[in-house]
Structure 1
Amino acid sequence: MSLLRILTEMALRGIPDINKVFIKYGKVNKFEDNVGFKADNEWMLDTEGVNLLAVMCHEDVDATRTTSNHLIEVIEVLGIEAVRRALLDELRVVISFDGSYVNYRHLAILCDTMTYRGHLMAITRHGINRNDTGPLMRCSFEETVDILLDAAVYAESDYLRGVTENIMLGRLAPIVVDYESDSMGVKMVDSPTRSADCNSESGHNFAI
């Protein structure tokens, strides 16, 4: 039995965890000094299975052009900025698969939200709703009744600093140039320090 297991599991050649390799002919953008960027066709290798670190370390592989759609492995091998780019590329491929168009900035904001804390954050109640935001912002996503009940029981306050909260109350969101707020002024720009009681002095709080 042990011999059979060794024969079926031992890797004689190749890279571990790479089960199959498929050859495809695809378009790439290349840069030439006299011409600039131009579209060209070349052969590529698609793999079934992932082992990004081992593939990038292979002497015959161009590590600068090696990509993976396994986001967990990307963040472990290359870091948070690389996984943000990989996530953005995957979203653009999925959205534009049937010819649909979504502006790049919308997808970039989503990717920034998922990665700005230094790790991948799920866009669910277990991820984005665990941020330090007000109850109105949290209830606009999921678990509306539960969040509002908890906010009422524990007397939470919402300082109306986001877009969602202000839209709920018919107020102007703090995103325009002439918005008057104590949180941004000449003194604060010159000396960027935050006072402990700036929330209470801003005048834009809303208690539940």
Structure 2
Amino acid sequence: RRKSQAIISQTKSCLKSSTCATEQILFCQNPIDSKLSTALLYKNQPIVMNCFSYDFYFPDHLLQQTHECMIIAALNPHCFTVQLKQDAIEFDKFQREINDFYNTIDDKKYFIPVEQIQKNLCVICADPKSADNDKIWNRSQILDFDINDQTVNLFYVDLGTWDEYVPINRLRYLIDSFHHHLVFSLTCRLAHISPIDD
């Protein structure tokens, strides 16, 4: 009798859905492409068109302490950029969400018209060195621009690096969530050092 009950329950039609329970379970265990799910998650976010700074916050309780970090860019001892080791996993996840979203969404509303380009404008930029079919996107701020050749000089806020002569067509508007996420890099300088006397 137990067998017949099991057979009967397997032949029941689906309730409130055209997808059977087995298919629903398989769907949950094999979710849709992560890029598509990220795009669906963020597609209704408002676009940020006129913001000229990013949020930065370093809690007071973390000051005057030693932290493990990675140097991600260095100009000289008075200007180098670090990322806290404790933020590395969150940064990787955040960067993956950005890449998934902008590599999936191809809506013209995210393209920035030349006339909207301004100094210090917060944008997202496809790394010019990345492949067209798998672009790497970075939060950026415009340092300077040339309307004649339609290029910009950018500062990559999460990496502490900059790039010159980036084509404007590689820029996109940020969405609200990506803009308001705290910056992951810290620009530093060495303390209590001075040039060696000759």
- Name the structure with the higher strand share: 2
Q: Which has the higher contact order (CA 8 A, sep 6+)?
A: 2
Is the radius of gyration larger for structure 1 or structure 2? 1
Normalising by the smaller structure, the TM-score range is under 0.3
- Name the structure with the higher helix share: 1
